[in-house]
């Protein structure tokens, strides 16, 4: 947590120093989560540049977003973060009036962004695996939480208080939104037993780029779509694959929001309208091999992408999925203590 705090202060200070530069929007987003070609087209058409600030966990993002000195204009949040930061006045309310592109998004997607975000990509959480090492696709969370001996110190987990608990809670047959102490204790026991097999608790897209450990990661907790990013990072198409365990998983959606305090609010809204347009959303989804939430953009996608189960989850996988709900403060604190304890095992 100390390292995260230092990073947050550093980013805030850096952004303060650049905030006065004209015609630049600061975008807080996951690494490799928006097509650079789309950004370049926006800059060419408008003269406004996009400065990306990357985070590698929701907790790290929330620290930056909650800092009033961070000077973020546009931010990627989850369906829990949208109402949380929206009700605190940190995010700008979005409607058809200030964001016309919203008309192309189904009501259920818009509801999940709570009126504070443009629905972006969606998907599931599952198991990422190197197909040259793990030759049989994992079918159960058991294979990640109680791994084979050959995977000792070859697993990447995730130090996030929400996603980091999906695997153990699913394996316990519990809700991923569990708040009660007994369930969290049981999840901790599973995570503690797994810890000797874990190489890193850094997000796998970040960890794979570390020359000291990247090649040692053979299995990881991650998001649908991460396999394409990993293959791009290692330069080997098809090496990394993705599997949704039979016990079920999280069905997530990301939302792109404008900060209420942005000094470039109108430009930020124009940027959202640009990436949320049918052409923009389709180009972004094609480039990143991700599922679009725009109904109009979906019609522009090739059938090969729309029928790919690694991109668009099967009905069976979605039927067993759970949605994220707001956790109690006590639950968040307990989960963060557990994550901190696990990190100390390294």
Looking up residue 193, the CATH number of its domain turns out to be 3.40.190.10
Torsion angle of alpha carbons 323, 325, 330, 332, nearest 10°?
Answer: 60
Q: Which residue, among 84, 31, 71, 338, has the nearest Cα to 205 in the 3D structure? A: 31
Domain range spanning residue 25? 2-122+251-312
Q: State the pLDDT at residue 17.
A: 45
Tell me how many domains the chain contains.
Answer: 2
Same domain, 191 and 93: no
Question: Do 208 and 339 fall into the same domain?
Answer: yes
* Distance of alpha carbon 188 from the chain centroid: 23
pLDDT for the residue numbered 172 = 96
Q: Are residues 131 and 225 in the same domain?
A: yes
Report whether 249 contacts 318 (CB < 8 A). Answer: no
- Whether 12 shows a pLDDT value over 50: the answer reads no
Residue-level pLDDT at 336: 93
Flag whether pLDDT at 180 surpasses 50.
yes
Share of the chain above pLDDT 70, in %: 93
Spatial separation of the C-alpha atoms in residues 209 and 201, rounded to whole Å = 14
- State mean pLDDT over 311-340: 91
Helix axes 2-18, 58-66, angle to 10 degrees: 50
The answer to whether residues 97 and 63 belong to one domain is yes
Same domain, 67 and 175: no
Check whether residue 138 and residue 83 sit in a common domain: no
Q: pLDDT class for 310, splitting at 50, 70, 90?
A: confident
Domain check: are 46 and 137 in the same one? no
**pLDDT over threshold 70, residue 268:** yes
Q: Is the pLDDT of residue 6 over 80?
A: no
Q: How confident is the model at residue 309 (pLDDT cuts 50, 70, 90)?
A: confident
130 and 199 share a domain?
Answer: yes
How buried is residue 336: exposed, middle or buried, by Cβ count under 10 Å (0-12/13-18/19+)?
middle
Q: Please state whether the predicted TM-score (pTM) of the whole model is above 0.75.
A: yes
Reported confidence tier of residue 329, pLDDT bands at 50, 70, 90:
very high
Instruction: Give the lowest-confidence range in 107-111, 161-165, 317-321.
Output: 317-321
One domain for residues 201 and 332: yes
* CA 261 vs CA 73, 89, 219, 222: distances in Å: 8, 9, 40, 32
Q: Which residues of 210-237 are buried (b: 16+ CB within 10 A; e: fewer)?
A: eeebbeebbbbbbbbbbbbbbbebbeee
Q: How is residue 314 written in tokens?
A: 């099967």
Return the pLDDT at 346.
Answer: 65
In a shared domain, residues 95 and 190: no
Q: What is the mean pLDDT of the chain?
A: 92
Confidence of residue 149 (pLDDT cuts 50, 70, 90): very high
Task: For residues 183-206, give the mean pLDDT.
Answer: 96
| Same domain (yes/no): 241, 338 | yes
Judge if 81 and 7 occupy the same domain. Answer: yes
pLDDT at 27 over 60: yes
């Amino acid at each position: 947590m100390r390292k995260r705090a230092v990073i947050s202060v550093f980013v805030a200070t850096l952004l303060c120093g650049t905030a006065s530069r004209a015609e630049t929007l600061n975008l807080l987003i996951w690494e490799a989560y928006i097509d650079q070609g789309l950004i370049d087209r926006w800059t060419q058409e408008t003269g406004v540049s996009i400065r990306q600030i990357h985070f590698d966990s929701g907790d790290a993002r929330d620290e930056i977003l909650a800092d009033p000195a961070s000077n973020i204009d546009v931010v990627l949040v989850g369906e829990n973060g949208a109402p949380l930061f929206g009700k605190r006045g940190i995010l700008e309310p979005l409607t058809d009036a200030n964001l016309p592109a919203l008309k192309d998004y189904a009501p259920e997607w818009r509801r999940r962004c709570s009126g504070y975000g443009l629905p972006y990509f969606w998907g599931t959480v599952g198991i990422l695996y190197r197909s040259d090492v793990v030759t049989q696709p994992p079918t159960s969370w058991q294979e990640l939480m109680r791994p084979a001996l050959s995977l000792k110190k070859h697993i990447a987990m995730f130090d996030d208080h929400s996603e980091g608990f999906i695997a153990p809670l699913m394996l316990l047959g519990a809700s991923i939104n569990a708040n009660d102490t007994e369930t969290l204790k049981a999840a901790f026991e599973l995570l503690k037993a797994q810890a000797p097999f874990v190489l890193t608790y850094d997000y796998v897209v970040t960890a794979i780029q570390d020359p000291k450990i990247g090649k040692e990661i053979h299995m990881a907790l991650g998001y649908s779509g991460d396999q394409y990013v990993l293959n791009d990072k290692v330069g080997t198409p098809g090496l990394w694959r993705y599997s949704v365990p039979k016990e079920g998983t999280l069905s997530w959606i990301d939302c792109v929001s404008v900060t209420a305090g942005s000094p470039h609010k109108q430009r930020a809204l124009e940027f959202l309208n640009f990436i949320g347009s049918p052409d923009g959303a389709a180009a972004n989804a094609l480039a990143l091999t991700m599922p679009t939430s725009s109904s109009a953009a979906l019609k522009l996608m090739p059938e090969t992408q729309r029928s790919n189960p690694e991109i668009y989850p099967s009905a069976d996988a979605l039927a067993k999925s759970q949605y994220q709900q707001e956790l109690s403060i006590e639950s968040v604190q307990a989960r963060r203590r557990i994550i901190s304890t696990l990190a100390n095992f390294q």
